[in-house]
Amino acid sequence: MNPTYDFTGQVALVTGAASGMGLATAHAFAEAGAAVVLADLNADALDQAARQLTAAGHQVLAAACDVTDEGQVAAMVDQTVHAFGRLDMAFNNAGIQIPPADAADEDIEVFDRVNAINLRGVWACMKHELRQMRTQGSGAIVNCSSLGGLVGIPGRASYHASKHGVIGITKSAALEYAPRGIRINAVCPGTIDTPMVTDMIANGELDRAQAEADQPIARLGRADEIAQAVLWLSSPGASFVVGVALPVDGGYVAR
Ligand code: NAI
């Protein structure tokens, strides 16, 4: 059973909304009554996701956006405010995984790419969301980190650098904006059964049975379980929660 939220009259923005956790979170925000802005690089998948939500009677705006391009990010937030008049909640979730590599052999291009999307993308989104939220004097932002923001794993230095960075900007901005009525937190998913993980399994980068065994709860997480954490962090129920990096990982980092 899921708890219910009432976000009627509020506006939620989700990046990476065409797939996986972003898609599940966009659905959850819409079902809780929010107008939802879906932002993603993949225009076809974005269009499909937006059609599905619109057909279900929700208020939806699809914004094609590459989060590595600050101009596109700024335009996405402008579109949001133009369409719905405000921005109350944002889930900065767009991200990629990269193949594992020996830390001594990783290409600089791969390091730059994963950090441009996973870290600088969150930075750009948060920057432009805050410009709107500070004029309102209210808002809640959830940035997507990972268990990779909390621990190291051999072969994963560049990805984990990006996700540790997300926690750094989350905490600092959270301290800056808590006195101004805006709460900023991060969610740290464990291994979640999304297309990203399906691809890792298909590529032989991850063994499903091993991944299940690695999580104390002995299964992979579901995208809707991350959505529920994001909705709670965005809700008045989390009104005293500021600057946390919340593991939602079946116990992975508790060991
Ligand atoms: P996914 O691959 O299913 O979805 C990611 C979405 O982000 C896709 O729709 C993709 O088009 C979009 N995207 C990629 N680059 C983009 C860009 N430059 N601009 C805009 N959109 C872009 O992945 P999933 O699993 O839902 O991951 C979502 C987030 O969660 C990512 O930040 C990922 O690093 C993080 N994460 C995932 C975990 C997992 O086990 N699936 C575990 C921990 C964190």
Q: How far, in Å, from the CA of 179 to the mean position of ligand 1? A: 31
For ligand 1, atom 4, which residue shows the shortest CA distance? 19
Give the pLDDT confidence score for residue 1 in this predicted structure. Answer: 53
Give the pLDDT confidence score for residue 228 in this predicted structure. Answer: 98
Give the pLDDT confidence score for residue 35 in this predicted structure. Answer: 98
Q: How far, in Å, from the CA of 97 to the mean position of ligand 1? A: 8
Pocket test for ligand 1, best of 69, 92, 93 (most atoms within 8 A of CB): 93
Q: How far, in Å, from the CA of 113 to the mean position of ligand 1? A: 14
- Tens-place pLDDT, residues 216-247: 999 999 999 999 999 999 999 999 999 999 99
Task: Return the CATH number of the domain spanning residue range 11-192+222-249.
Answer: 3.40.50.720
Which parts of 125-211 are beta strand (E)?
A: 139-144, 182-189
Ligand 1 within 6 A of 248 CB?
Answer: no
- Whether 34 contacts 88, CB under 8 Å: yes
- Going from N- to C-terminal start, the domains of the chain cover 11-192+222-249
Task: Give 203: exposed, middle or buried? Use CB within 10 Å, 0-12, 13-18, 19+.
Answer: exposed
Give the catalytic positions in this structure: 159
- Tens-place pLDDT, residues 75-131: 999 999 999 999 999 999 999 999 999 999 999 999 999 999 999 999 999 999 999
Tell me, what amino acid is at 181?
G
Ligand 1 within 6 A of 21 CB?
Answer: yes
- Tens-place pLDDT, residues 158-213: 999 999 999 999 999 999 999 999 999 999 999 999 999 999 999 999 999 999 99
Q: What is the average pLDDT score of the chain?
A: 97
